[in-house]
Structure 1
């Protein structure tokens, strides 16, 4: 049974204000002819989707919101919320692309107040991709090397309206778009589908709290050492480091993934 991650649903564009001042020089954009390259393994990583800042010494991988600029000289992963609408952004989607229950009410991810997208048919998935696809292209154009599509596990919050098949059919469209753009694509959480990563076109994994919830082995069984681990507690970090510190890329952040200099900022590694 999959848990609900503490932090898998953050606002798109939240890093934009910080990005202009802190992001640095853009990298050369990937091209459609380039083969996607997965992130380096057992590498220093920083999770900056709450706001961009200068990466700490030793960091090789940075994950930032798609509204931010990449960090110069590092491997950059572009965070994109693709399975749910942003809070308050329902009007940006055609009404029938928002998942609705039997009474016609929009189904929400109640923790983050995000409307779930209706990915139940091929026709609707293609229409959603008409918006999501350009976001992925934008990650390429900004110079990112990979994307991290969030809320792959939205079916767990759908009241049974969405299925694992729906999720996988939609992630395949994103994988194809990313690979055509020369970008690697990561599986976000959703350990129960990790075994299908090849069929779904996924190159690496980003797991929140697999140390805390004893799930890291579920990801390594499918992705080997191509796993980035984000922990939010001291216990989770300790357990992840004890079991996987010599193999995986592991970092602890504060739950709000605050920029450096914020009172809430936390960043620890093994």
Structure 2
């Protein structure tokens, strides 16, 4: 007489199990990375090495290295040493020595930017450059980098061979920032001091060359006031000439040689 209620209960449990909504799997991996991305604070010491054999032993919390030249194992090793690692990429200029160089249409290549084998890009062509840069940022993400330093982000201020405007530059820089954030990467604004007020909200930190030499370091203070690091180098000034101001402004400053090898003189 008790078996019928037990069977009914069993059927009810089975029906409930079949109709229960599946647990929310949570955000997609890249969305989760975007929420958890690194946000460097002012005052962090750093090493910027783009040439020579990588020396991972400099006792600083942040490394900035070439994204193409170094494998995932180098990033992993730096992480094991307690470093955050920034992926250096040129996003505003074409480089003839990169493995994807032949994928850039010749019509997008402008005048030389002063470095051998490099030419400015027509950043107005986001329909072409967007997918190419997305793939480069995929590389940074897949190698395990924490952030990206997109270089040559101020073409509109240079003689590029294209009639680039400030609006063109803002649009392109914001595109690069969005693509980086979608992949969970922090992104730094490289130079482009005049557009800091418009771009501060889009970038997580700044990277600057020679603001002291050109008496422009005060233009970077909005980043520091917003709690965002400014990674700064000088090449021609002695540390005694720029470090006092750099410390006062909250910049992460050091002296480097132009080839950006291992050598450094921190403030």
**Cα distance in 2 between the residues matched to 1:160 and 1:97:** 9
SS at match of 1:80: strand
Whichever structure has more helix as a proportion of its residues is 2
Tell me the equivalent position of 1:110.
114
Tell me the equivalent position of 1:25.
none
Q: 1:172 to 1:208 in 2, by over 3 A?
A: same
Q: 1:253 to 1:126 in 2, by over 3 A?
A: same
Tell me the equivalent position of 2:229.
226
Tell me the equivalent position of 2:144.
143
SS at match of 1:218: helix
SS at match of 1:119: coil
Tell me the equivalent position of 1:203.
204
Q: TM-score, normalised by structure 2?
A: 0.76
Tell me the equivalent position of 2:216.
215
Which sections of structure 1, spanning at least 5 residues, go unmatched? 1-29, 100-106, 260-265
Is the aligned partner of 1:97 residue 2:108?
A: yes
SS at match of 1:170: helix
1:76·1:144 contact (CA, 8 Å) conserved in 2? yes
SS at match of 2:240: helix
Is the aligned partner of 1:55 residue 2:52?
A: no
Which sections of structure 2, spanning at least 5 residues, go unmatched? 1-28
SS at match of 2:254: strand
Q: Output the aligned Cα RMSD.
A: 2.1
Report which of the two structures shows the higher radius of gyration computed on alpha carbons. Answer: 2
Q: Please point out which of 78, 85, 91 is paired with 2:94.
A: 85
Deviation at 1:40, TM superposition (A): 3.5
Deviation at 1:113, TM superposition (A): 4.2
1:46·1:55 contact (CA, 8 Å) conserved in 2? no
Tell me the equivalent position of 1:37.
38
In the comparison of the two structures, how many residue pairs are matched? Answer: 222
Deviation at 1:223, TM superposition (A): 4.4
Is the aligned partner of 1:268 residue 2:265?
A: yes
